[in-house]
A and B are shown apart, each in its own frame.
Chain A
Amino acid sequence: MSIQELCTVRDNRQLTGSVFALTLEAPRISSAAAPGQFVHIACGEARLLRRPISICQAHDGLLKLVFAAKGEGTQWLSRCSAGDVVDVLGPLGHGFDLSALGDRPVFIGGGIGVPPMLQTMQAARAAGAQPTAILGFRSRDAVILEDDFRAAGTVYIATDDGSYGIHGFVSDVLRAHIGAFTSVCCCGPKPMLRALAEIAQAAGIPCQVSMEERMGCGIGACLVCACALKAEDGAVRYGHVCKDGPVFYAEEVQW
């Protein structure tokens, strides 16, 4: 069920050079949100398109979004402050399927793909699993949400330049520990998702990937956020990230 809600900004703080944590008062959307879903936010009158942002946490009537201020829209959003009102659609899309994670799932995020894994990991822990997180960042100064993840289970942090945690990629960490896990859930750049999916497939454990694409309506009407999927006969068909995703089982995706 899609809801349009005018949300008051409770708090907006800078986590790193370009990453912000925005907390919104969103009683209706937050109570309906499931791990892995996203919201679509209007970023000022001058921009026609909303910006899709994954949900980091939803509880007690609040919605926490952690996003990178990359373009004009997200920069506008980064300048919002407590008391401002933003127009939000959500919760949108299909989130992670929590029914088949097993008792030792691993949640993997790369860069700005890290935030949506927090709520998902917390949900798995609440359901009795012993979750692990593998979080990848460019360098030490890009690390976000570490304490929140540590409170939810075991955490490995990898940095590309080795300035913090393990020197390497999240895929290196997954490969080294794959035997310890019953399933993989991940979000990040497409090459990273593909590498993780291959490792999970080789180990015979299920892998869910959260995909990203340039989006229009955000609800499945305009068909622009096409994601190449495997049709039953093996040919390509286009699903849509906003409605059929953003989370897909890795074997559905035409990499």
Chain B
Amino acid sequence: MADLRVNFCGVELKNPVTTASGTFGFGHEYGEFYDLGELGGIGVKGLTPEERLGNPAPRIAETPMGILNCVGLQNPGVDRFIEEQIPFLRQYDTRIIANVSGTTVEEYAGIVEKISDADVDLIEMNISCPNVKCGGLTFGTQPKMVEEVVSAAKRVAKKPLIVKLSPNVTDIAEIARAAVSAGADALSLINTLLGMRIDVESRRPILSNIMGGLSGPAVFPVAVRMVYQVHQAVDVPIIGMGGIRTGRDIVEMMLAGASAVAIGTACFADPMAPVRALHELEQFLDEHGIASVTELTGGLRI
């Protein structure tokens, strides 16, 4: 049996499979299908300083091998997460990855400071949400803004700080370097790709917010490419995400440079996707005589 453990910024993950923020709520629902303790970590729904209602429906549209969403960061606010959800998640032997957002540099610093003092293992800072008017994506697309917001957060972070990058940029390596130079301990990518669909009968956009974020297998090759580019550019661990469905997808993402992965949209098709993919990964490692999953990271041959 291969060793599945991954040391991620000093935090040991029992395996490299985590769940992607925004697709997994706080774990309650998928916890009805399997023991959440089987996962390496749980990326929780994106949190903001105050409760957010999110956008009106429709918030989802199907695309070829993908989906568009415009949920708009609906969440109960960081305080209620700390009070109500951490005790639930702590019942399971898995790592808690708290995903946080703000609309200003001060808000980002404030929420990172607050969540740092709570019982979470890793902090994932979302500077790439395409579905909110202020903040989110606007922070993640300009190197100067990335540096400013990440340094402010890093000054107050007492847990490893992962910065989640947007693929909606010309040069992902440049953004990655800005985040790392400002103190990011790790990077996660990719967030969703901005997309749009139109109902040709009514001539109206399907999504209430007109545009939304594309995820699912359709974006997988884009994610692999960007993880590869970022891995070439910086020297921090990467959580690779974007369209992963199978154990072989995990292997591919890790070969491109990821140290761990997150599975999201695949859960909608199959609630068991993360544990099924984990078992497939395990099988791949055994079949190929790979002793430790960490050997895969950046193992691409060119």
For B74, give the chain A residue with the smallest CB separation: A223
Asked if B30 is at the interface (CB within 8 A of a chain A CB), the reply is yes
Give the interface centre of A215, A219, A222, A228 by most chain B CB atoms within 10 Å.
Answer: A222
Interface residues of A in 194-246 (CB under 8 A from B): 213-228, 236-238, 243
Asked if A151 is at the interface (CB within 8 A of a chain B CB), the reply is no
Contacts A2-B32, A223-B25, A236-B53 known; A216 to B271 CB distance under 8 Å? no
Contact of A221 among B29, B58, B60, B217 (CB under 8 A): B29
Asked if A94 is at the interface (CB within 8 A of a chain B CB), the reply is no
What B residues does A228 contact at CB under 8 A? 56-57
Contacts A48-B62, A48-B217, A214-B60 known; A226 to B54 CB distance under 8 Å? yes
Asked if A50 is at the interface (CB within 8 A of a chain B CB), the reply is yes
Contact of B29 among A2, A46, A215, A225 (CB under 8 A): A2
A227 touches B57 (CB 8 A): yes
A-B pairs with beta carbons under 8 A, tally: 102
A215 touches B33 (CB 8 A): no
What B residues does A227 contact at CB under 8 A? 57
Contacts A49-B269, A220-B25, A221-B24 known; A214 to B32 CB distance under 8 Å? no
Contact of A215 among B60, B66, B217, B271 (CB under 8 A): B60
Contacts A213-B58, A216-B60, A238-B74 known; A222 to B69 CB distance under 8 Å? yes
A47 touches B62 (CB 8 A): yes
B268 touches A216 (CB 8 A): yes
Contacts A50-B268, A50-B269, A213-B58 known; A223 to B53 CB distance under 8 Å? no
Q: How far is the CA of A49 from the CA of B62 in the complex (A)?
A: 7
Asked if A4 is at the interface (CB within 8 A of a chain B CB), the reply is yes
Asked if B290 is at the interface (CB within 8 A of a chain A CB), the reply is no
Contact of A237 among B53, B60, B267, B269 (CB under 8 A): B53
What A residues does B216 contact at CB under 8 A? 48
Asked if A176 is at the interface (CB within 8 A of a chain B CB), the reply is no
What B residues does A225 contact at CB under 8 A? 57, 59-60
What A residues does B33 contact at CB under 8 A? 2, 4
Beyond A214-B61, A222-B60, A238-B53, 16 additional pairs, beta carbon < 8 A: A4-B33, A4-B272, A49-B62, A214-B57, A216-B67, A216-B268, A217-B29, A217-B267, A220-B25, A221-B24, A221-B29, A222-B23, A222-B25, A224-B71, A226-B57, A238-B54
28 A-B pairs within 8 Å (CB atoms) are namely A2-B32, A4-B271, A4-B272, A46-B65, A48-B65, A48-B66, A48-B265, A49-B67, A49-B269, A213-B57, A214-B57, A214-B61, A216-B60, A216-B268, A217-B268, A218-B268, A220-B28, A220-B29, A221-B29, A221-B30, A222-B23, A222-B25, A222-B60, A223-B71, A224-B57, A224-B69, A226-B54, A226-B59
In the complex, the 8 A-B pairs of residues with the closest C-beta atoms, listed nearest first? A221-B25, A224-B60, A224-B59, A219-B29, A221-B29, A226-B57, A214-B58, A217-B268
